[in-house]
A and B are shown apart, each in its own frame.
Chain A
Amino acid sequence: DAKTTQPPSMDCAEGRAANLPCNHSTISGNEYVYWYRQIHSQGPQYIIHGLKNNETNEMASLIITEDRKSSTLILPHATLRDTAVYYCIVRVAYSGYALNFGKGTSLLVTP
């Protein structure tokens, strides 16, 4: 699985968009980009995934650069409940089945 690099922490004002970057410069052509988050003391929660195209669901948007070497998770209107550690994970779908969590980005949403 490709290695990912994320900033250790970020702040965002409530109601504003939170843009969380992830660098995955060694990503292979068959590897997906996944985002999970872990709210304090809870189990990780799937947010979104993508291969090449930008993706959007009810939780967030995922923007993947054309060369696929980096991506950005966008929470369009951050709320206090979005305070969590966000993990960017790159892997081949189903390979080994497991997720390799790195250190993630600790996002603090402030009033």
Chain B
Amino acid sequence: DTAVSQTPKYLVTQMGNDKSIKCEQNLGHDTMYWYKQDSKKFLKIMFSYNNKELIINETVPNRFSPKSPDKAHLNLHINSLELGDSAVYFCASSQVSSGAGHEQFFGPGTRLTVL
């Protein structure tokens, strides 16, 4: 069983379109994250949700809107896509509340290409 899964794995789209990336974790974790890895391979946090509540919202354009329908899912919706949004997006999860939240589990990534 895949612990953290993301769909789609690849996403190619035109500038100006709206797209969503889905993330699901089956680990029963209470915290989920979105990270962005740009073309220079820098990996940066975008959002963090704990029990469906937004905890971290880094300096990310408001075109990016995370949505957590339940603790097992954290989806990323992107409006009006721009060339600079091209990157690999990673979802991750961890269990924080029980005091065992040292390890974050990452999904396989979604490679977004904006043309």
- Main secondary structure, interface of A, reads loop
What number of B residues sit within 8 Å (CB to CB) of A? 27
Chain A residues with Cβ below 8 Å from B107 are 43
Q: Count A-B pairs with CB separation below 8 Å.
A: 56
Interface footprint category on A: 20 to 34
| A20 smallest CB distance to B (angstroms) | 17
Question: How many Å lie between the Cα of A35 and that of B63 in the bound state?
Answer: 32
Closest residue of chain A to B103 (Cβ to Cβ) is A46
Residues in chain A within 8 A of chain B (CB atoms): 32, 34, 38, 41-46, 49, 85, 87, 93-94, 96-101, 103
Residues in chain B within 8 A of chain A (CB atoms): 4, 31, 33, 35, 41-45, 48, 50, 55-56, 88, 90, 92, 94, 96, 101-109
- 3 cross-chain pairs, A with B, having the tightest CB-CB distances, nearest first: A43-B106, A98-B45, A101-B43
